[in-house]
Amino acid sequence: MTLTAARDGSAPILGIDPGTRKCGMAVVVLPGVPPLALEIVPFSEFEQRVSELIASHGVRAVALGGGTHTAAVAASLGTLTVPLAIVDERDTTYLARERYFRAHPPKGWRRFVPRGMLLPPRPIDDFAALLIAERFLEREAVR
């Protein structure tokens, strides 16, 4: 068992929010538990970073968002050493915004603005990847 394995013995999942110029990535053990990794990587560094995350965290599967650019990103992964699953990423951008503000509450005058009207000050592809990984884990738990 790796150091990052869950209490029930399962290893982490790598969630990926595919994009053309950048990809969000999150290494998740259990839904609702802080991720082991949460980052946005330029597409030029994507393949290398996926390999590093798989090796360093003992990732057992990759959950790839099934929306825009999925086929191109899946093709760039080449031969993975772990299974690849395509996960529905419907509404992840909207939900990622909500998740971002839960992790980084607005400060100053922004805290008085309804969160639905606020835009995060940075890309949130990493939070979308987190949601994709959690959806995979939730779907797996139902089976």
pLDDT in tens, 108-123: 999 999 988 999 999 9
- Whole-structure pTM value: 0.89
Beta pairing class for 22-28 and 84-87: unpaired
Q: What is the pLDDT of residues 59-108, one digit of tens each?
A: 999 999 998 889 888 888 877 889 999 999 999 989 999 999 999 999 99
3 state SS of 42: strand
Name the DSSP class of 1. Answer: -
Instruction: Classify residue 89: in a domain, yes or no.
Output: yes
Contact 78, 23 (CB under 8 A): no
Instruction: Classify residue 97: in a domain, yes or no.
Output: yes
CATH number at residue 49: 3.30.420.140
pLDDT > 60? residue 6: no
Contact 43, 21 (CB under 8 A): yes
Instruction: Classify residue 77: in a domain, yes or no.
Output: yes
> What average pLDDT does the chain have?
89
Number of domains into which the chain is organized: 1
pLDDT > 70? residue 23: yes
pLDDT at 143: 63
Identify the domain containing residue 61 by its residue range. 13-142
Residues 6+ apart with CB under 8 A from 77: 47, 50, 62, 64, 84
Instruction: Classify residue 51: in a domain, yes or no.
Output: yes
